[in-house]
Amino acid sequence: MSIVATLDPPLRNLGDGFQVRRALPAPRYRTVGPFVFFDQMGPTRLPVGKGLDVRPHPHIGLATVTYLFEGEIMHRDSLGSAQVIRPSEVNWMIAGSGIVHSERSPPQARSAGPALFGLQCWVGLPRSEEERAPSFDHHPSTVLPLTEIGGTSLRLIAGTWQGLRSPVRTLSDMVYADILLDPDARCPIFAEHVERALYVVRGPIEVDSHRVEEGRMVILETGKDVTVTAQSSARVMLLGGEPLDGPRHLWWNFVSSSTERIDQAKADWRAQRFGRVEGDDEFIPLPEEPPAAVPVRYP
């Protein structure tokens, strides 16, 4: 069997017409390789004069990866980074021992009513790297490996694939790729990574003989090569890699192998002991009624 599960992410309206689909964590499959969180943002056009305004908030124990299809976002963080990300570029932020960042529509984009369409993922860090110093890197599209053959193009965002290696500094074995297919084009998905999933941004597609609709994520059988076929022009994300090295817990914006470490992060954010984002005095408070730490993987 090529597909072992199909995930149908719920569509959530966050206000002002801004919608997300959250494919991970899902009730049955909380992770794929090191990926613990997968959100599709939009597609949407925000009201004229407004924009995306994700106020400063903290992270520990993970790396965030932001990738856009349309629009732009200004990233600022407590390291002093200030970087606009545009389509086919990569923002990779390692939270490690703790970082604070904000994500907002740039001022120049707000006057026209900014478009926004893209993905944000969280990647769990190996236990040995959970407390490493935080860092931020931006990569323009020109440095990301791109291969084109037979009506298919694959841009490698992070990790490795078929001899290609992205310059993004990952801390574990993984793959994250953006695949564009012309009508009737075929793309082999090899079993070179332990865990793999496909997310259909634009479709539908067929995985071997199985039809997969737009907005769905499918978990692929371990060790089995499959073929993606586009019925019309399609866009598919490939993600996966080596499974996490033991249990992880996810609470709000925190990921850790230790519930005690998550409790410490809660206390630190409540007491404002994290860093600050220069020039941005707002922040998202700790949730008043926090959920229990949710295990995102079992050994």
pLDDT band at 297 (very low <50, low <70, confident <90, very high): very low
Confidence band for 293, pLDDT divided at 50, 70 and 90: low
pLDDT at 173 over 70: yes
Tens digits of residue pLDDT in 80-124: 999 999 999 999 999 999 999 999 999 988 988 899 999 999 999
Rounded to whole angstroms, how far apart are CA atoms 66 and 64?
A: 7
Q: State residue 291's pLDDT score.
A: 55
Residue 298 has a pLDDT of 33
> Tens digit of pLDDT for each residue in 209-228?
999 999 999 999 999 999 99
Q: Confidence class of residue 13 from pLDDT cuts 50, 70 and 90?
A: confident
In the block, tokens 């310059």 appear at 167
| pTM of model > 0.85 | yes
pLDDT at 267 over 90: yes
